[in-house]
A and B are shown apart, each in its own frame.
Chain A
Amino acid sequence: GENVEQHPSTLSVQEGDSAVIKCTYSDSASNYFPWYKQELGKRPQLIIDIRSNVGEKKDQRIAVTLNKTAKHFSLHITETQPEDSAVYFCAATGSSGSARQLTFGSGTQLTVLP
């Protein structure tokens, strides 16, 4: 099955700086890579995703890059703000027959210092 590793486990940045979170995956058949943000006591929420047919995707201050050869993908947050503080999870999945099963990384606690 798929195995997703995520680094770092904690990350502190100054407000306005950039933050980068990296993930690797094991299954070369995986073709969908979403990122979720989870604030304390709340549900994980999808913030951006990328499919294997593109190498980069951007949405305002958030971008994700994918290197299929190396089997790694990264989340980039620019101009960080205090409200970006949360736990971020990467995930990977292929299409396993009838459904798409997500395997999550272990999470990164991002703290943006004012």
Chain B
Amino acid sequence: DAGVIQSPRHEVTEMGQEVTLRCKPISGHNSLFWYRQTMMRGLELLIYFNNNVPIDDSGMPEDRFSAKMPNASFSTLKIQPSEPRDSAVYFCASSPRDGYGYTFGSGTRLTVV
């Protein structure tokens, strides 16, 4: 298995632009999680899906952030409009049905200038 696949690996964008991050979970995993990592706040859970359904989005910082999971093999995290304070590493992770053993993707390093 190729693991959790995220794209792009790096993204540099100007303030105000729309940013879309992509994630392909491990085949057969039924839970998907989006995390944001910064030096100040550590690893923060933004949103998670179970069987493609959003379960808890209380970690999404504000309405500029949205996430979708149209099918079991694909999810997106969108920021519109982006701001410099959104600069961080965004990780996607997936876990199997029993929930034991998250696997993280390689992350997307987002820089908003």
Contact = CB atoms under 8 A, between A and B. Distances in A.
Interface of A: 32, 34, 36, 42-46, 49, 51, 89, 93, 95-107
22 contacts: A42-B106, A43-B104, A43-B105, A44-B43, A46-B101, A49-B100, A49-B101, A51-B100, A93-B99, A95-B99, A98-B55, A99-B50, A99-B55, A100-B31, A100-B99, A100-B100, A102-B33, A103-B45, A104-B43, A105-B42, A107-B42, A107-B43
B75 interface: no
> Main secondary structure on chain B at its contact with chain A?
strand
A106 to B, nearest CB: 5
A40 to B, nearest CB: 12
Interface of B: 31, 33, 42-43, 45, 48, 50-51, 55-56, 91, 95, 98-107
Contact of B95 (A51, A97, A100, A107): A100
Nearest to A46: B101
B45 A101 contact: yes
Contact of A45 (B42, B55, B104): B104
Contact of B91 (A32, A34, A44, A93): A44
A2 to B, nearest CB: 10
Nearest to A1: B58
Nearest to A103: B45
Contacts of A43: 91, 104-107
Nearest to A89: B43
B51 A98 contact: yes
Contacts of B51: 98
Given A32-B100, A43-B105, A104 B42 contact: yes
